[in-house]
A and B are shown apart, each in its own frame.
Chain A
Amino acid sequence: MSDEIVIDVRGLTKSFGGRKVVDDFDLKVPRGAIYGFLGPNGSGKTTTIRMVCGLLKPESGEGEVLGFDVLKESLKIKERVGYMTQKFSLYEDLSIRENLEFIARLYELDHRDDRVDKALVDLGLAERQGQLAGKLSGGWKQRLALAACMIHEPELLLLDEPTAGVDPKARRDFWDQIRRYSAQGVTTLVSTHYMDEAVQCDSIAYIAYGKKLIDAPTGDIPAQIGLSCWRIAGRPLMQAHAMLEQSEGVELVARFGAAMHACGKDAAALERAVRAVKVAQPHLQIEKIEAGFEEIFIYLMSGSIDNFQ
């Protein structure tokens, strides 16, 4: 990572049908970083990424990507960015090789055959290069899409939920690849729904209802949110669970094996709620714990942000 800023956008705003889908969005991503982009479904991640790579015109805001103006120089940006769409958007009726060749021609790459060959070998798809892309399984489609958006050796990768619906092994392989690119100085902005992926990012930007609420190095996020948590153990938990969900001050109740974690931002209210449960069900053990990344993540992705901020 260096001090150079690869994505520097300010005040990006976009509405659909009069509703602000992305509202006054700022982002600074330094070169070589793996920047995680988190948020519940429909929070505006895809829309933001599309604005960053020039696929949507922001109605207000400005910024530079790789030093080029997002509003005026989108062609220059497109030449240097690899964008992997949320939905598979290569041609299902073209073969794996034909898809890669098509993309290589669009970027006017030299040594096209060599590059395509190499991409196929890296992908482990050399033997199946003649197979139609539409016949591939989800995991292979993702890898093909990644290969396609890397073939022109972009300086910046924009990955929109690249591993959604992919098995854990394929996801690990995928992330190993992202880290290798990062080591080579490629910057990555990746949206995800998986916690194990979020923790691998250097920094995380969290967006909900189109507004960016958190933007910090991954390690700083628990402290920033200031979530208090209690661990409740014992059997049965059913009744306690129901009670906690009704209680004031409890914003999140999540099961962790035989125990249950109750979390909230108002430490005093949370403690009152947990103690009330203990009084009602004395067989349970309660214990105050440090909010881990898991609780934070569940809290963020559950979309319960009404009383947040």
Chain B
Amino acid sequence: MKLLDLSWSRVFAVFLKELVQMRRDRPTFAIMIMMPVMQLVLFGFAINTDPRHLPAVVEMREDGPLTRAFLASLHASSYIDIVAITQGPDEAEAMLRSGDATFLISIPEGFERRLVRGERPQMLIAADASDPVAAGGAIGAIERIAQSAFAPEFQGPLGYLARPPPAYEIVVHRRYNPAGVSAFNIVPALLGVILTMTMVLITSIALTRESERGTMENLLATPIRPLEVMIGKTTPYIGVGAIQVAIVLIAATLLFRIPFAGSFLAFLVAVTLFIFANLMLGYLISTAARTQLQAMQMTFFIFLPSILLSGFMFPFRAMPDWAQAIGTALPITHFLRIVREIMLKGAGFTDIVGDLLPLALILLTLATLALLRFRRTLD
């Protein structure tokens, strides 16, 4: 079976046909355009969550009994998971930027000496506030942890430190979304949700509709190859995806005043890859579904985890391992990270490689599966 033996004439034939059919199917087309608008309105408000197990990196420039006690309390807390302890700032900053850590807790050199002297030293918490709900909850938690960690230490000879004002000062830096606006987190992520929903849904009936209407028999009676059908049937919807991206981006800047901090080129590459991955996911469904109703049901089967387990609803790192594993296999999980990093954190290509590659891998896997599943006969 030569999968890669392809004729552009046939690809173009299918492409053109799909385009004409899409144009004639006005209601569907309208829904695809209205969908982003509706979702933006619906999800424009925050979704409350009680996040736990958020990854934190601790930058320790001090090593003494008091700081060790604090560290132990952090370890014990269910709000925070310490993923790394570093000595210098560079590594810690990089982890915060890449999203490997949601918090950076920084204890400066000489902290204990100055604490004992009653100089009220500062402890810095830098939070990735691009998800403001997660950040807000955890900042409060860290403050409480510090309090209860130091309380037993401030006894006996250090008893004088227990008197107010607190012997130390916690300085909070909210990064990437200083004002803690929910829309900053939700709107870029909505782009992922909208694209997943529409791209998968349209292509999930790509082959199913042909089988149901009986046109598959004619199509298969011609010398068309599986790859030609796949390319011809999915590419017209890139245009639809592009329109949706434009709508969300315009709404993001004009309506929600969300900055676009990072590389636009990197964004374009990522969003293209993401659209393709979703088209392939839908197309794969259409090779399995026998009726349009089945295709619809399978789409929602994909859609639920895409919303719940991707980091859209709940902070990804706060989810149990099995949920994270499912999330990692979904294209939207990687796209959400990428789009937040680019739009809010000003990331460029190098920052998103870690999610771009898995996205490409998912795309390739889905396309291969769809090609192998394509039935060349009516059996």
Binding site for B on A (CB under 8 A): 50, 53-57, 74-75, 78-79, 81, 83, 85, 87-94, 98, 101-103, 105-108, 148
Q: Mark B344-379, 1 if CB is under 8 A from A, else 0.
A: 000000000000000000000000000000001111
CB contacts (< 8 Å) of A90 on chain B: these are: 215, 218
User: Are B17's CB and A94's CB within 8 A?
Assistant: yes
Taking a contact as CB atoms closer than 8 A, the residue among B9, B20, B223, B377 that contacts A79 in the complex is: B223
Q: Assuming the A-B contacts A54-B377, A55-B378, A57-B377, are A106 and B217 also in contact, with contact meaning beta carbons closer than 8 angstroms in the complex? A: no
CB contacts (< 8 Å) of B17 on chain A: these are: 91, 94, 98, 102
> Interface centre among A56, A88, A105, by most B CB within 10 Å?
A105
Q: Assuming the A-B contacts A89-B217, A93-B25, are A105 and B379 also in contact, with contact meaning beta carbons closer than 8 angstroms in the complex? A: no
How far is A94 from B215 in the complex, measured between Cα atoms in Å? Answer: 12
Question: Closest approach, in angstroms, between the C-beta of B267 and any C-beta of chain A?
Answer: 35
Listed from nearest, the 10 A-B pairs whose CB atoms lie closest are A105-B13, A89-B218, A83-B221, A106-B222, A78-B223, A108-B9, A79-B223, A89-B214, A89-B217, A93-B24
Binding site for A on B (CB under 8 A): 7, 9-10, 12-13, 16-17, 20-21, 24-25, 213-218, 220-225, 376-379
How far is A201 from B17 in the complex, measured between Cα atoms in Å? Answer: 37
Given contacts A53-B221, A106-B222, 9 further A-B contacts (CB under 8 A): A55-B217, A75-B225, A81-B221, A83-B221, A89-B217, A93-B21, A94-B17, A101-B13, A105-B12
B9 closest partner in A (C-beta): A108
A selection of 22 A-B contacts at a CB cut-off of 8 Å is A53-B221, A55-B220, A55-B377, A55-B378, A75-B223, A75-B225, A78-B221, A78-B223, A79-B223, A83-B221, A85-B214, A85-B218, A90-B215, A91-B21, A91-B215, A93-B21, A94-B17, A94-B21, A106-B10, A106-B222, A106-B224, A107-B223
Q: Assuming the A-B contacts A50-B378, A55-B377, are A107 and B222 also in contact, with contact meaning beta carbons closer than 8 angstroms in the complex? A: yes
CB contacts (< 8 Å) of A75 on chain B: these are: 223, 225
CB contacts (< 8 Å) of A53 on chain B: these are: 221
How far is A78 from B217 in the complex, measured between Cα atoms in Å? Answer: 12
Question: Closest approach, in angstroms, between the C-beta of A154 and any C-beta of chain B?
Answer: 11
CB contacts (< 8 Å) of A81 on chain B: these are: 221
CB contacts (< 8 Å) of A89 on chain B: these are: 213-218
Question: Closest approach, in angstroms, between the C-beta of B361 and any C-beta of chain A?
Answer: 31
CB contacts (< 8 Å) of B9 on chain A: these are: 105-106, 108
CB contacts (< 8 Å) of A106 on chain B: these are: 9-10, 13, 222-224
Q: Assuming the A-B contacts A91-B17, A102-B13, A106-B13, are A56 and B215 also in contact, with contact meaning beta carbons closer than 8 angstroms in the complex? A: no
Q: Assuming the A-B contacts A98-B20, A105-B10, A106-B10, are A92 and B213 also in contact, with contact meaning beta carbons closer than 8 angstroms in the complex? A: yes
How far is A74 from B221 in the complex, measured between Cα atoms in Å? Answer: 9
CB contacts (< 8 Å) of A93 on chain B: these are: 20-21, 24-25
Question: Closest approach, in angstroms, between the C-beta of B335 and any C-beta of chain A?
Answer: 33
Question: Closest approach, in angstroms, between the C-beta of B213 and any C-beta of chain A?
Answer: 7
CB contacts (< 8 Å) of B24 on chain A: these are: 93
User: Are B223's CB and A88's CB within 8 A?
Assistant: no
Question: Closest approach, in angstroms, between the C-beta of B290 and any C-beta of chain A?
Answer: 15
CB contacts (< 8 Å) of B224 on chain A: these are: 106
User: Are A57's CB and B21's CB within 8 A?
Assistant: no
CB contacts (< 8 Å) of A92 on chain B: these are: 213
How far is A74 from B224 in the complex, measured between Cα atoms in Å? Answer: 11
Question: Closest approach, in angstroms, between the C-beta of A29 and any C-beta of chain B?
Answer: 18
> Interface centre among A89, A91, A106, by most B CB within 10 Å?
A106
CB contacts (< 8 Å) of A78 on chain B: these are: 221-223
How far is A279 from B221 in the complex, measured between Cα atoms in Å? Answer: 59
How far is A85 from B20 in the complex, measured between Cα atoms in Å? Answer: 23
Question: Closest approach, in angstroms, between the C-beta of A80 and any C-beta of chain B?
Answer: 9
Question: Closest approach, in angstroms, between the C-beta of B102 and any C-beta of chain A?
Answer: 50
How far is A50 from B216 in the complex, measured between Cα atoms in Å? Answer: 13
User: Are B213's CB and A103's CB within 8 A?
Assistant: no
How far is A77 from B119 in the complex, measured between Cα atoms in Å? Answer: 90
CB contacts (< 8 Å) of B217 on chain A: these are: 55, 85, 87, 89
CB contacts (< 8 Å) of B221 on chain A: these are: 53, 55, 78, 81, 83, 85
